[in-house]
Amino acid sequence: MTAYQLAHWRLIIDQEPRSGAANMALDQAVAEACAAGAGLPTLRFYRWQPPAVSLGRHQPLAEVDLDAVQERGYEVVRRPTGGRAILHTDELTYSVAASADEPRVEGSIMDAYLRLSNALLAGLRSLGLDADKAPGSVRAGPDVSAACFEVPSAYEITASGRKLLGSAQSRRAGYVLQHGSLPLTGDLGRLIDVLALPDGERAALRNELTARAVTLADALGVMPDAPQAQFATVAHALREGFAATLNLTLDAGQFTPAEVRRAAELIRELFANPEWTNRL
Burial 71-107 (b: 16+ CB within 10 A, else e): eeebbbbbbbbebbbbbbbbbbbbbbbbbbebebbee
Residues 58 and 143: their CA atoms lie apart, in Å, by: 16
Q: If you ran DSSP here, which 8-state letter would residue 148 be given? A: G
Contact predicate 210/188, CB 8 Å? yes
Residues 161 and 221: their CA atoms lie apart, in Å, by: 15
Q: If you ran DSSP here, which 8-state letter would residue 36 be given? A: T
- Cite the DSSP H helix spans in the chain: 20-35, 66-71, 109-125, 199-212, 216-220, 227-246, 257-266, 274-277
Catalytic residue, from 11, 148, 205, 216: name it: 148
3-state secondary structure at position 258: helix
Amino acid symbol at 59: Q
Question: Is-catalytic flag, 148?
Answer: yes
Which residues is 9 bridged to in the sheet?
A: 250
How would DSSP label each residue in 57-68?
TT--GGGB-HHH
Cα dihedral: 104, 105, 110, 113 (round 10): 70
Active site residues: 148
